[in-house]
Amino acid sequence: MSQNDILLEVEDLRTVFDTSEGAVRAVDGVDVTVRRGECLGVVGESGSGKSVTFSSVMGLVRAPGRIAGGRIRFDGRDLIGLGPRDMRAIRGRDISMTMQDALTALNPALTVGEQLAEMLNAHDEDLPARGGARRRAIREKSVEMLRLVGIPSPDSRLGQYPHEFSGGMRQRIMIAIALAPGPKLLIADEPTTALDVTIQAQVLELISDIRARLGMSVVLITHDLGVVAEHCDRVMVMYAGQVVEEGATVDVIANPRHPYTRGLLASIPRLSMRGQPIRPIEGQVPNLVGLPPQCRFYSRCPERMDSCLQTVAMRPAGPGRRARCIAIAEEAVA
């Protein structure tokens, strides 16, 4: 893989929230690599830091949160230390993000057409400079975007407000707005969690479809391993602020190397498992304040050993795979 293949590279990202109870290390030494044209799945439960990681990439972490360390390189540029002006230019034009709840993420007081135009006005450099030509171009492009995301009779729906659309349609509109400037990377944060399964399938297929057509990269943040299995090339599993396992989706699901990934897979109820007990992961996510240097999954891990009570680093676990578990190294030695 040449350096040029990599679109986004995050190294040792640390994001901290200062609270009355102490500093919460919500993201603690996270590395992310997103290649051009690929779809990376990011899986984790609440508190895993999966959303905070990508808010940090977008420069959207607000006080009391702060980025305490790390490097974020996007398309050959360092994003940390970039002024708010430059960051705003990158946000939207090069990286777009869609939120879980389209109803609150869209402005209820503006029509869909106005919101699309705003995005295009700010970020699209191919438009004519000014005047009627520019307005016409924006309108054409807006209609084209709504058509792209599968909204019927887009011309007449440009003048409607977000509340006049159904949940699935709103999610499509948010995707249309995110895609309007032609970003290189789309970060989709739980795009289908609020939607019904039949609608969820439509939206996910739409994202896959557009990715193939526009050749952009997609980061799909989700808690649903099924979604990742069907739509992502690679997957990154996060737990309590750290990445615990990453690799090609097929490999990770067929042969999970980290006990948490195994537990997560075993926790999913399946039609084929009727009558057999599911094996849930015991206990709950540890408090992120004042964690001792040890494997963060220690308290819940069925395979824990005394040697887990030290800092555990990510280690290679097969071709293109890494995992944060001490047992992997010992396997190799044995």
Partner 1 sequence: MTSLTNPLVQVENLSKVYEGRRSLANRLTGVEPFSVRAVNDVSFHVDRGEILGLIGESGCGKSTLGRAVLRLHEPTAGRVLFDGTDVTALSAGALKDMRRRMQIVFQDPYASLNPRSTVADIVGLPLRLHGLAASRSEMRDQVVGILEKVGLNAAHLDRYPHQFSGGQRQRIGIARALISHPEFIVCDEPVSALDVSIQAQIIQLLLELKDEMGLTYLFISHDISVIGYLSNRVAVMYLGEIVEMGPASDVLARPRHPYTQSLMSAVPDVDAPGHHQRVRLTGDLPSPLDPPPGCKFHTRCPLATDACKHAAPVPEEVSPGHRVACHRLHENLSVLETASRAEGC
Partner 2 sequence: MTVADIDAGPVAVASGAGQTIFRRNLARFAANRLAMASVAVVFLFVLLAIFAPWIAPHDPNETDLFRRLQPPAWQAGGEWSYLLGCDALGRDILSRIIYGSRISIFIGAAVIFVATTVGIAAGLAAGYFRGWVDVTISRLVDILLSFPYLIFAIGLMAMMGPGLVNIILALAYKEWVIPCRVVRGETLATRELEYVEAARALGASSAHIMAREILPNILSPVIVVSTIRIAHVIILEASLSFLGLGVQPPTASWGSMVADGRAFILGAWWVSTFPGLAILLLVLAINVASQGLRDAFDPRFQE
Residue 266 contact, options partner 2, partner 1, none, Cβ 5-8 Å cut-off depending on partner type: partner 1
Binding partner 2 (rule: CB under 8 A), the pick from 13, 32, 34, 49 is 49
Q: What angle do CA 99, 102, 105 make, to 5 degrees?
A: 70
The amino acid at residue 89 is A
Q: Name the segment binding partner 1 (CB under 8 A); options: 65-73, 104-112, 222-230, 314-322.
A: 222-230
Q: Kindly report the length of the chain.
A: 334
Residue 282 contact, options partner 2, partner 1, none, Cβ 5-8 Å cut-off depending on partner type: partner 1
Q: In angstroms, rounded to a whole number, what is the distance separating the alpha carbons of residues 145 and 141?
A: 6
Q: In angstroms, rounded to a whole number, what is the distance separating the alpha carbons of residues 34 and 49?
A: 17
280 counts as binding partner 2 under rule CB under 8 A? no
Residue 24's CB: how many other CB atoms inside 10 A? 23
* Residue 131 CB burial class (10 angstroms; 0-12, 13-18, ≥19): exposed
Binding partner 1 (rule: CB under 8 A), the pick from 63, 109, 129, 197 is 197
Residue 52 contact, options partner 1, partner 2, none, Cβ 5-8 Å cut-off depending on partner type: partner 2
Residue 140 contact, options partner 2, partner 1, none, Cβ 5-8 Å cut-off depending on partner type: none
Q: Name the segment binding partner 1 (CB under 8 A); options: 24-32, 154-162, 277-285, 309-317.
A: 277-285
Burial call 219-248: b when 16+ CB within 10 Å, e when fewer:
bbbbbbbebbeebbbbbbbbbbbbbbbbbb
Binding partner 1 (rule: CB under 8 A), the pick from 1, 271, 333, 334 is 271
281 counts as binding partner 1 under rule CB under 8 A? yes
Q: Which CB sits closer to partner 2, 174 or 288? A: 288
Min dist CB 56 to partner 2, Å, is: 13
Residues 127-146 that bind partner 1 (CB under 8 A): none
Q: What angle do CA 228, 233, 234 make, to 5 degrees?
A: 80
**CA Rg value for the chain:** 21
Residue 230 contact, options partner 1, partner 2, none, Cβ 5-8 Å cut-off depending on partner type: partner 1
Residue 220 contact, options partner 2, partner 1, none, Cβ 5-8 Å cut-off depending on partner type: none
267 counts as binding partner 2 under rule CB under 8 A? no
Residue 130's CB: how many other CB atoms inside 10 A? 8
Residues that bind partner 1 (rule: CB under 8 A) add up to a total of: 45
Structure tokens of 180? 């309007």
Min dist CB 219 to partner 1, Å, is: 17
Measured in degrees and rounded to the nearest 5, phi and psi for residue 240 equal 50, 45
Q: In angstroms, rounded to a whole number, what is the distance separating the alpha carbons of residues 334 and 328?
A: 10
Q: Name the segment binding partner 1 (CB under 8 A); options: 6-14, 23-31, 69-77, 165-173.
A: 165-173
Q: Is the link from the previous residue into 256 a cis peptide, with omega within 30 of 0?
A: no
Binding partner 2 (rule: CB under 8 A), the pick from 29, 65, 168, 259 is 65
Structure tokens of 330? 């010992």
Residue 82's CB: how many other CB atoms inside 10 A? 16
Binding partner 1 (rule: CB under 8 A), the pick from 83, 131, 132, 277 is 277
220 counts as binding partner 1 under rule CB under 8 A? no
39 counts as binding partner 2 under rule CB under 8 A? no
- By three-state DSSP, how is residue 315 classified? strand
Min dist CB 289 to partner 1, Å, is: 15
Our measurement of the distance from residue 312's CA atom to the centroid of its chain's CA atoms, rounded to an integer in Å, reads 24
Using CB under 8 A as the criterion, which residues of the chain lie in contact with partner 2 when the complex forms?
Answer: 17, 19-21, 24, 26, 45-49, 51-52, 64-65, 284-285, 287-289
